[in-house]
Amino acid sequence: MNQQINIKTYSSKIIVDDDKTLSEILGHNDENIDTIEHNFDATVLVRSNEVTVLSSDKTCVKQVSNLIKELIGLIKSGTQITKNDLRINIDMVKRSESPMAAHGENVVKAN
């Protein structure tokens, strides 16, 4: 017996308008994308200047898309994204907080 299983997949596309920003989002050898995929149940595909987020979890697609948009904003404002910055930004997005809004402020949050 063959049983067909249908899994709904959600997606979001983000256009990155310059190569330098895209390169910083990807990270060395795509390590930033790998970190993002490891922290979310999502796949991130990059083709040319287009970043596509795929997941069976609609909320996850929204969070990863927001994270990438926030990273674009931070990079364009002159912030260099380190591994630690990326981890902090991931945690903030998971809590529905905006890294861009917190940028430049001294934010201390007790867990």
Q: Whole-model pTM?
A: 0.85
* Predicted confidence pLDDT, tens digits, the chain (111 residues): 577 777 789 999 999 999 999 999 999 999 999 999 999 999 999 999 999 999 999 999 999 999 999 999 999 999 999 999 999 999 999 999 998 887 765 444 444
Helices (DSSP H) in the chain: which residue ranges? Answer: 19-26, 31-39, 58-76, 83-94, 99-102
Backbone angles phi, psi at 75, to 5 degrees: -65, -45
Backbone angles phi, psi at 44, to 5 degrees: -115, 120
Report the C-alpha gap between 20 and 56 in whole angstroms: 30
